Amino acid sequence: MGRAEDGDGAVAYNYPHFDDYVADGGDLADETAFWASPQAGRRAPDFTLHGLADSSQVRLSDLWRSQPLVMEFGSFT
Amino acid sequence: MFVYTREAHPAEDVQHHDSFARKLSGAALLRDETGISRDILVDDLAGTVHRAYGMMPNMTWVIGRGGRVAYKANWTSAANVEAFLIRFLAARTNHSPATTAVMYETQQVEFRYPDRKRFSERLRRNGPRAAAEFEKAQQLWADRPSS
């Protein structure tokens, strides 16, 4: 588990313009990243995230310890 | 639960994340304006969790008890996830000594029934720039050589 430092990685990650992101092939790179991510049967990466409801620190492995966990990723749009 | 990542269509009113505080306000917007009632966990500003799980804007993963990947889909299809969960949970309930779980890889087309009106409204909510940039992106996709 771990958390990355905020820095240039965060600036590139949080692109300000969707058309520039597509023009740069960001969507294609992300599709490639998905297929390179851990396969079914492999151990899932464990991290600690910020809980929106109460600002608690939530560790993923605590959520999947005793029951399966469904994780949907997304944003406002 | 829901992992809040980065704004896919940032614009004047719903901006790209330049601080964790802004990211938290985006997550609150998601909760307050889309009616998501599941627990929302917020990734860090650099997208550490999003990167580790594969960067797609709206993907779904199911992690089995104990921490092994049971299901991953590059786009979320509620029907597809539900069908898997029914089988997955049934196998756990009806487990026999002969039951085995193996990695089973399949690719398929999935069907979307996009609500264009709602999507356009959401883009407008983000700001005028969001719709214009999406239109430009559509042209870029159209111009890409098909394989």
Q: What is the pLDDT of residues A48-65, one digit of tens each?
A: 999 999 999 999 999 999
B22 touches chain A (CB under 8 A): no
Q: Which amino acid is at A26?
A: G
Confidence of residue B39 (pLDDT cuts 50, 70, 90): very high
B133 touches chain A (CB under 8 A): yes
In the prediction, which pLDDT does A7 show? 57
Range A23-51 average pLDDT? 97
Domain boundaries, chain A: 8-63
Higher pLDDT, B96 or B15: B15
Nearest Cα of chain A lies from the Cα of B71 at a distance, in angstroms, of 6
The rounded distance, in Å, linking the Cα atoms of A45 and A33 is 14
The answer to whether residue A25 scores a pLDDT higher than 60 is: yes
Report CA Rg, chain A.
15
The rounded distance, in Å, linking the Cα atoms of B20 and B98 is 49
Nearest Cα of chain A lies from the Cα of B39 at a distance, in angstroms, of 7
- Partners of A43 on chain B (C-beta within 8 Å) are 67-69
The answer to whether residue A5 scores a pLDDT higher than 90 is: no
B89 touches chain A (CB under 8 A): yes
In the prediction, which pLDDT does A27 show? 97
Domain boundaries, chain B: 2-111
Q: What is the pLDDT of residues B8-24, one digit of tens each?
A: 999 999 999 999 999 99
In the prediction, which pLDDT does A1 show? 43
In the prediction, which pLDDT does B29 show? 95
Q: Smallest Cβ distance to B16: which of A14, A66, A67? A: A14
Higher pLDDT, A22 or B100: A22
Q: Smallest Cβ distance to B46: which of A6, A19, A38? A: A6
Bridge partners of B72, per DSSP, are B61
Report the interhelical angle of B128-143 vs B116-126 (nearest 10°).
Answer: 120
In the prediction, which pLDDT does B102 show? 87
The answer to whether residue A29 scores a pLDDT higher than 70 is: yes
ipTM surpasses cut 0.90: yes
Q: Smallest Cβ distance to B67: which of A9, A53, A64? A: A64
The rounded distance, in Å, linking the Cα atoms of B64 and B88 is 9
> What is the distance of C-alpha B84 from the center of its chain?
17
Range A15-22 average pLDDT? 98
DSSP state of B115: -
How many CB pairs below 8 A link A and B?
241
In the prediction, which pLDDT does A8 show? 58
Range B65-82 average pLDDT? 96
Pick the residue from chain B with its C-alpha nearest to A5.
Answer: B46
Task: Please state the pTM of the whole predicted model.
Answer: 0.93
Higher pLDDT, B25 or B146: B25
Residue A72 is inside which H or E element, if any?
strand A69-74
The CA-based angle A72-A77-B31, given to 5 degrees, is: 65
Longest dimension (CA), chain B: 59
